Amino acid sequence: MKNLRFIVYGAVFSIILIKVEAVSWFRIQEMFHFQSFHMYGVLLSGILVALIGTQLIKRFTKIEFRTKPLQLSANVIGGICFGIGWGITGACTGPLYSLIGLNIWPTFVVLAGALLGTFIYAFLMKSLPHGGLSDKKNS
């Protein structure tokens, strides 16, 4: 039950994403057509503030961060697949849930697709390349 407080965090994050229009299919298309600075501003300023914050945390506290291991083929192929889904639906994972809350019911179809995609990955994981492109073994 102690995890229930993350509902509050999720609601706050969702409100930020919605108010800054990061959940809008139109804004995502605008970004991929390079027709406005809006989404670049959102992402770059978000990353910049988080970068400064994490640097300060590293310097002044004992909190340690985990970074994900570099798995070149997984990061590249998986990344391109994710990007294709992002471009088509105009929703990455956070906005996907926000859109459902916003009463846009067709988004359930996208979510069902995402769960199906996760199952496909779970089935294929062992036969997919993960490490360096020339690395036959899975890392």
Partner 1 sequence: MKEFFNDIVYEPWPWWVGGPLIGVFVIVLVLAERKQLGISSSFQYVCAKISPFKLDYLKDTSKSVWQFWFVIGLVLGGFLLYNLIPAYEIGVSAETVTTLEGLDISKQNGYVPAEVYNVNSLSNILVLIFGGLMIGFGARYANGCTAGHAIMGCALMSPASIVATVCFFIGGLLATYFILPIII
Residue type, 94: G
Name the minimum Å distance from CB 86 to partner 1: 5
Name the minimum Å distance from CB 92 to partner 1: 4
113 or 135: CB nearest partner 1: 113
123 or 135: CB nearest partner 1: 123
125 or 135: CB nearest partner 1: 125
DSSP secondary structure letters along 57-126: HHHHS------PPP-HHIIIIIHHHHHHHHHHHS--HHHHHHHHHTT-TTHHHHHHHHHHHHHHHHHHGG
Name the minimum Å distance from CB 137 to partner 1: 16
